[in-house]
C-alpha cells in the first residue's frame, strides 16, 4: 500500500474549562490555532477548520483562523472542513483561498460542500428551496475560477460575469476537494469538475463507501481525467486506553448529538449506539493509539484512499484533552498506521 497522509479536522466546537464553565468563543479560536501548531510540530499533513453559524461552534470565518495558524506553522497544509459554498460567493471564496495560499507559502487547500447545517442560508439571504441549484451553479463557477483567467458566466443564483478576473493570483494554484456524504450524483459531479473527493464517513462501516470510490474512479476515466486523490473525514478521539478514550468522548458526544438531534428528530443517543460506533463496523475512530491505528489502516485498505482526516473535536471536550489526543495521533497513531499498511 502507498503511504497515506493523515490530517485533522475541527468544527471549532465550544469547549468547557477545567471548572466546567463554557470557554469563550474568542478563547476557543485561540485554542484552535494552538492545536494547528501542535499538528504541524508533529508532522501531520493537514489541518482543516469547518464553517458554522450557530452557538455550538466558534468559527464562522475559517480562512481568518487558518491565516493566523499559517503565521505560526511551517509545513502543515491548511484548509476548510468544509466551506459552505452554497451560501457563499464563489468569487469571494476563491479570493480568500488565494490569499490564504499566499500567506501560508502555498499550503492552502479548499474543501467545499453543501454543509450539514442550514443556518447560513437565511443568514445570508438564500432560500432553502434553492438548495440543489445553489450548490450546482456555485460549484460550476468555482471550477471556472481555478484557471485564474477572465471568466464569463451566467446562472440564476447570482449576477452574471462578463470577462471578470479574480485577484490575487496564486503562484501554483491550490488543491480543491468536494465533501461528499454518500450520494452517487455528488460523486459523479465531483469527478466531472476534476475536484478531489473527500468522503464524510460519520455513520456506518467505512466499507460501505467502497462503491463510491469505484464510481469516482470510473467517472474520472469516463470524463478523460487522470486519477485524483480521495480522502476520508471521520470523527474520533484518542487516549492512553480504550476505556479512557470512550469515557472522555461519550458525555460530549451524547450532549452534542442530542442537542442537534432534538432539532432534526433523531432518537436519543445511547451507550449502546456509542459502543457500536466505536466498534469495527462504526464510524467513530476512538480508543487507544493501537485501536485507532488499526481501524484507520483497515479503512484505508478497504477504500484505497490517499488521506485520512480525524475530526478530533467533538462537543465540549476540554482543550487539554484535545491536545493530548492530537499528540497521540501524531506521535503514535500516524507511524503505526504507516507500519500496518507497509506490512499488509
226: domain CATH number? 3.20.20.30
Longest dimension (CA), the chain: 59
| The pairing of beta strand 161-164 with beta strand 151-153 | antiparallel
Determine the average pLDDT of the residues in 310-330.
97
Share of the chain above pLDDT 70, in %: 100
* Per-residue pLDDT at 115 exceeds 90: no
The CA distance from 14 to 242, in Å, is 24
Strands (DSSP E) contained in 11-150 are 46-49, 77-80, 83-84, 108-113
Residue 182: the pLDDT is 80
Q: Is 84 helix (H, G, I), strand (E, B) or coil?
A: strand
| CA separation, residue 105 to residues 30, 74, 144 (Å) | 22, 9, 23
* Per-residue pLDDT at 344 exceeds 80: no
pLDDT digits (tens, 9 = 90+) for 147-192: 999 999 999 999 999 999 999 999 999 999 999 998 999 999 999 9
* Per-residue pLDDT at 67 exceeds 70: yes
pLDDT digits (tens, 9 = 90+) for 217-256: 999 999 999 999 999 999 999 999 999 999 999 999 999 9
Which of 239-248, 255-264, 306-315 is predicted least confidently?
255-264
Which candidate, 190, 174, 279, 182, places its Cα nearest to that of 232?
Answer: 182
Number of domains, the chain? 1
Average pLDDT, the chain: 96
* Per-residue pLDDT at 46 exceeds 80: yes
* Per-residue pLDDT at 281 exceeds 90: yes
pLDDT digits (tens, 9 = 90+) for 6-31: 999 999 999 999 888 999 999 999 99
Enclosing domain of residue 200: 5-342
Which candidate, 187, 197, 291, 304, places its Cα nearest to that of 245?
Answer: 291
For residues 34 and 23, the answer to whether their CB atoms sit within 8 Å is no
| CA separation, residue 75 to residues 19, 35, 39, 212 (Å) | 35, 14, 10, 31
Q: What grid cell was written down for 330?
A: 501524531
Determine the average pLDDT of the residues in 291-309.
98
Determine the average pLDDT of the residues in 104-133.
95
Residue 1: the pLDDT is 63
The CA distance from 29 to 120, in Å, is 20
Q: What grid cell was written down for 155?
A: 446562472
For residues 148 and 166, the answer to whether their CB atoms sit within 8 Å is yes
Amino acid at each position: 500500500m502507498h503511504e497515506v497522509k493523515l490530517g485533522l479536522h475541527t468544527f471549532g466546537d465550544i469547549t468547557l474549562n477545567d471548572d466546567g464553565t463554557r470557554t469563550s468563543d474568542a478563547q476557543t479560536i485561540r485554542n484552535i490555532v494552538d492545536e494547528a501548531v501542535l499538528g504541524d510540530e508533529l508532522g501531520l499533513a493537514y489541518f482543516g477548520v469547518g464553517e458554522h453559524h450557530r452557538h455550538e461552534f466558534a468559527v464562522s470565518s475559517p480562512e481568518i483562523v487558518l491565516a493566523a495558524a499559517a503565521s505560526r506553522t511551517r509545513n502543515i497544509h491548511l484548509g476548510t472542513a468544509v466551506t459552505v459554498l452554497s451560501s457563499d460567493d464563489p468569487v469571494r471564496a476563491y479570493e480568500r483561498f488565494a490569499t490564504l495560499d499566499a500567506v501560508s507559502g502555498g499550503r492552502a487547500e479548499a474543501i467545499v460542500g453543501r454543509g450539514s447545517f442550514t443556518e447560513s442560508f437565511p443568514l445570508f439571504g438564500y432560500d432553502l428551496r434553492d438548495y440543489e441549484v445553489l450548490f450546482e451553479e456555485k460549484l460550476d463557477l468555482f471550477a471556472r475560477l481555478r484557471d485564474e483567467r477572465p471568466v464569463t458566466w451566467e446562472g440564476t443564483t447570482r449576477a452574471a460575469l462578463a470577462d471578470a478576473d479574480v485577484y490575487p493570483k496564486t503562484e501554483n494554484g491550490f488543491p480543491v476537494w468536494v465533501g461528499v456524504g454518500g450520494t452517487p450524483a455528488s460523486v459523479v459531479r465531483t469527478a466531472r469538475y476534476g475536484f478531489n473527493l473527500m468522503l464524510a464517513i460519520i455513520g456506518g462501516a467505512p466499507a460501505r463507501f467502497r462503491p463510491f470510490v469505484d464510481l469516482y474512479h470510473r467517472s474520472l476515466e469516463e470524463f478523460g481525467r487522470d486519477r485524483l486523490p480521495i480522502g476520508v473525514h471521520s470523527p474520533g478521539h484518542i487516549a492512553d486506553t480504550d476505556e479512557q478514550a470512550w469515557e472522555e468522548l461519550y458525555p460530549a458526544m451524547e450532549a452534542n448529538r442530542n442537542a442537534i438531534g432534538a432539532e432534526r428528530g433523531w432518537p436519543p443517543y445511547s451507550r449502546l449506539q456509542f459502543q457500536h460506533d466505536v466498534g469495527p463496523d462504526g464510524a467513530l475512530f476512538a480508543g487507544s493509539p493501537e485501536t485507532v491505528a488499526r481501524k484507520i489502516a483497515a479503512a484505508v485498505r478497504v477504500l484505497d484512499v490517499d488521506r485520512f482526516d480525524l475530526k478530533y473535536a467533538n462537543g465540549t471536550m476540554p482543550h487539554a484533552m484535545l491536545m493530548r489526543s492530537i499528540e497521540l495521533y501524531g506521535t503514535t497513531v500516524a507511524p503505526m498506521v504507516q507500519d500496518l499498511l507497509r506490512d499488509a
